[in-house]
Structure 1
């Protein structure tokens, strides 16, 4: 390697050093590490997501964007499949690995990479007041037999409670109600106007949609930056994968995951999404935030509801699994098609996710970003890998994700003998994002593919003009352990 390898004390008894460049929670990385452990071969692990320079250097050295990438001393072995192909069926090292073991390891060290620190928000000054109000008995059903609004309260009822039970002056109570609404503890049921004394009905944000997976509990912390919170959520989810992924990296024990302490910590953190400020985010911040939250919400939905097993269940899953974010309800469909695709119709949708006047339109991207399709993971085996997305580098990361997806044959396969180009079903479902015709679609694929023999082969086939496009079947099977 032309840059330093990490030192690993457990390797001192070996003549060689194995280094695994990986991403936390990646199934293929976990499979490779489990395989190495089974061989009794210690390794040094480097998380490429913690340092962008390491990620870029590994790509330059290997020509690959995927993980894991495994080195024995300075020799690049490849990915998980490459590693396992080097080892004979009887569990002993193949001659190639035996030979590499005799090499002396490098004494150079890679700079230490700082560990991720969880977000710790401060408790909001109004949190205790809201908790007392919840138990006051004032929150109840309001309305007539024609329309009933459950779990609501009027402006006058809140003011009366603040005056009678908390000793506020009338003006102080009114101003407190306005501040509570500004801080998104509750919202107007009709979606209009500010807080006022009178019969207008309000509902706590946590009661706005009790089917949302982070509802029913007060977000007691003061809001933190959206990008910071989304990263914390993602890291906890990846930690869950690391703890509950099978040794071969193919299945996840969601039942055990649900009962883990890490999952409880994740649920506590997800509650804090309720009152985030979203409207001031930049395009890059929206991209990183909503990609991370989408991937986390899918896993949360799998834990709470189980993986969808047929077309109808998938429809209900993606249109029903939701979070309360910034005072609004966002389903998986809302996040993907409403926000990240610039409010375009999704697969099987007759209308756009957000109608005119919908407050969520204010956070939607101005236009669709095609590369998000290689970042969103819906929990099926055919999905792209889960990665970390940061607002500062999101465009570069999306470009890398697209290249990595197109490197695999399940993303794009070129068969020059048959003049055939086989593409993932993703390109058919969201063809409008890539181009109106097959020719425009293929041109987009060629432009976004990393330099490789496959890219050269594709361009040569496109130059001939006589080719056929076939869309591959999508693997909807879940990685859930039965």
Structure 2
């Protein structure tokens, strides 16, 4: 095949993956819970890794991939193994939500560490893939799952909470920050509220200059979760009323650089 056409196909593929967002389509197998089960899942190992490797720089929370200790690497592996050896369907929905969010974030950090040094998570996933999100990376109950499965086939369709986009982290500067606290059934409401507030009030979330409105591409990719473009503007106006005075359509941006210390 002519190399010119190979590059055209490659560029088209990259363009598609950088702009297309998966739909929320329920994986019915995981939509089960035991609300009578009051058992709590232990997320202390994940909290330990976060405590030792996160730092704040301006509005960004950064992970120290370069200097993470062998002990913390092992703690991360042990934590992921512990979660994947559980059947989340046996827990109540509040425990499940924390389980899936923490697993998504821990697995993402693990992916970066396995391939570090890299400049962006988008470098992973193969020649014709924009990132690793469609790759099966964990197995639970003999079911292979990808990061996209967790976010778009479990979290979004089951909980139907737009703030999920502030909770899961894609290891990029443009993403809502990786939470410094491990999610638990008890702290989820406060962490979601804080993540929402922090992102909307950061320039990577909402940036207003003169009469121009620049939004994170999250509000473009997942506009359906916010009620469409007008729904996005109405929602953000609750936090920033000045948006209502802007007549121009918003532009969108996203920074895929690694959230590296």
Q: TM over 0.5: same fold?
A: yes
Q: Does 2:30 match 1:238? A: no
How many angstroms apart in 2 are the aligned matches of 1:425 and 1:369? 18
Root-mean-square deviation (CA), in Å? 3.2
State the TM-score, normalizing by the size of structure 2: 0.71
Structure 2 match to 1:91:
none
Partner SS state of residue 317, structure 1:
coil
How many angstroms apart in 1 are the aligned matches of 2:176 and 2:163? 11
State the TM-score, normalizing by the size of structure 1: 0.41
Deviation at 1:312, TM superposition (A): 5.7
Structure 2 match to 1:475:
255
Conserved in 2, the CA contact under 8 Å of 1:294 and 1:376?
yes
Q: How does 1:315-330 map to 2 (within 5 A)?
A: 315-320=130-135, 322-330=137-145
Q: Does 2:187 match 1:393? A: yes
Determine which structure has greater relative contact order: mean sequence separation of CA pairs < 8 Å that are 6+ residues apart, divided by chain length: 2
Q: Does 2:57 match 1:272? A: no
Conserved in 1, the CA contact under 8 Å of 2:76 and 2:110?
no
Partner SS state of residue 289, structure 1:
helix
Gaps of 5+ in 2: 1-37
Conserved in 2, the CA contact under 8 Å of 1:295 and 1:386?
yes
Render the CA deviation track for 1:88-107: whole Å, top value 9, x for unaligned.
xxxxxxxxxxxxxxxxxxxx
Q: Pick the structure with more helix per residue.
A: 2
How many angstroms apart in 1 are the aligned matches of 2:188 and 2:256? 27
**Which of 283, 289, 292 is the equivalent residue of 2:99?**
289
Gaps of 5+ in 1: 1-224, 343-364, 450-454
Structure 1 match to 2:111:
301
How many angstroms apart in 1 are the aligned matches of 2:40 and 2:138? 16
Deviation at 1:324, TM superposition (A): 2.5
Q: How many residues align?
A: 218
Change (3 A) 1:253 1:385: closer
Structure 1 match to 2:207:
413
Q: Which has the larger radius of gyration?
A: 1
| Greater than 6 Å deviation, 4+ residue runs | 245-251
Q: How does 1:105-184 map to 2 (within 5 A)?
A: none
How many angstroms apart in 1 are the aligned matches of 2:105 and 2:204? 20
How many angstroms apart in 1 are the aligned matches of 2:252 and 2:191? 26
Change (3 A) 1:238 1:311: closer
Change (3 A) 1:226 1:295: farther
Change (3 A) 1:296 1:283: same
Change (3 A) 1:414 1:272: same
**Which of 129, 133, 150 is the equivalent residue of 1:335?**
150
Deviation at 1:468, TM superposition (A): 2.1
